[in-house]
Amino acid sequence: MTNKDEVLKALFPEDILKTSKDLTEGEVKFLKQLNDLLEEKYRSSINDHWVNATVPEDFFEDMGKLNYFHNPLLFEGREGEKTPSQLFQFFMSYVIARFDVSLVTLLGVHQGLGHNSFLFGGSKEQIAYYLPKLQTHELRTCFALTEPEHGSDVAGGLETTAKRDGDKWIINGAKKWIGGANVADVIPLYAVDVDTGKPKGFIIRPEQEGVEIDVIENKIALRIIPNTNIKLTNVEVKEEDRLQNINGFKDIAKILYSTRAGVAYMATGAMAGALRATLDYVTERKQFGKEISKYQLIQEKLAMMQGNLAQAMATCAQLARMQAKGEYDEVATSAAKMMNALRLRESVAMGRGITGGNGILAEYDIARFFSDAEAVYTYEGTHEINALLIGRALTGDSAFI
């Protein structure tokens, strides 16, 4: 057995279909470093952060230091490639989600929706300036699309407006659920051009006059993430701070499609976290004179959780292979997100049930995964919206309205 095989066996014991076997030596080394960082620095405090709704100190900086966009380990044997492999990106999300769903969501918004707003929506000059700073975490970003009254219907219901006034734009409106806006340096924000009726993208900064940001309180899921409301009152944005390649909802949809696979990855990692938390519990908890892991009904539920996870991992690995070939298919990503999030919901419910009354206490990891699964089930397209995307492809009929 090679060293890589040994590390993989220790790092992903739940990978019964060996979906990780095609990772390179360098990628495996990186993933072990990432896992060790999470376990050694953040394990002891993660549940307290969830209860107290606080972001672990240094997490964003630590991820920047790992240099996950350009780390030489990720390009060993891949000389000439400009980006990390799609399979690696799956497993990076997986490892963080297995540890905590809030942290992977926080990072996913930055490296996915936020970063890709600049990558796909920016001019050559904007890309050259912002991408290096976002990739090293010198700058933080987020993604401001969803509004108080518009989520799934935002394509046709965007109410935040932008009015051209010479060489600047005047922005008015409101956004909701914007994760990390209060700590972002730059916010890609989407508003309708009142003259054309088409959405455009703008680079907003939290300290600008007319920008008000407050943190949404009392969430039952993703408590570590500071989701925010943004109110915009006559906010002035220079034309040079308009994302030049966002000129319709199709341009925004490209950003959304590019990250939907990532949510399927997150859901899969969360399943692994729930399985691990449940296994840790059942091997210690005794009832009727022996560990509950020795009972048949418990083992059947554990087997179902493992089965759900194996299928989800296989789906993600295939999705990564497709995207590595440039096949970014809306139906495939929607199916992966829909089914993996559904199976996550099923798995965390079984884990929570196995752990009994203790499973509702935040000192046990399963309670955190159980609650956070509800957010994964909803974001990046609800179950129903993704189902309608798939249904439209199957039938040729759009049933959205």
Considering the domain architecture, whether residues 366 and 335 belong to the same structural domain is answered as yes
What is the average per-residue pLDDT within 94-103? 98
Cβ neighbours of 240 (radius 10 Å): 12
* pTM score above 0.85: yes
SS3 (DSSP) at 345: helix
Question: Is residue 400 in a domain?
Answer: no
Among the listed residues 340, 279, 269, 281, the one whose alpha carbon sits nearest the alpha carbon of residue 99: 269
Considering the domain architecture, whether residues 71 and 44 belong to the same structural domain is answered as yes
Considering the domain architecture, whether residues 183 and 244 belong to the same structural domain is answered as yes
Q: Is the pLDDT score of 150 beyond 90? A: no
Check which CATH number belongs to the domain holding 76 and give it: 1.10.540.10
Task: Kindly write down the DSSP assignment for every residue of 70-107, as one continuous string.
Answer: T-GGGGTT-TT--S--HHHHHHHHHHHHHH-HHHHHHH
Q: Give the count of domains, the chain.
A: 3
Q: What is the pLDDT of residues 57-75, one digit of tens each?
A: 899 999 999 999 999 999 9
The secondary element (H helix, E strand) that includes residue 119 is: helix 115-121
Amino acid at 267: A
**Single residue among 222, 249, 276 that ends a domain in this structure:** 249
Angle between the 86-99 and 296-324 helix axes, to the nearest 10 degrees? 150
Considering the domain architecture, whether residues 184 and 109 belong to the same structural domain is answered as no
- Residue 109 carries which DSSP code? I
How many whole angstroms separate alpha carbon 392 and alpha carbon 296? 43
pLDDT score for 155: 65
Q: Is the pLDDT score of 157 beyond 90? A: no
Q: Which domain holds residue 42?
A: 15-135
> In the chain, count of helices (H) and strands (E)?
14, 9
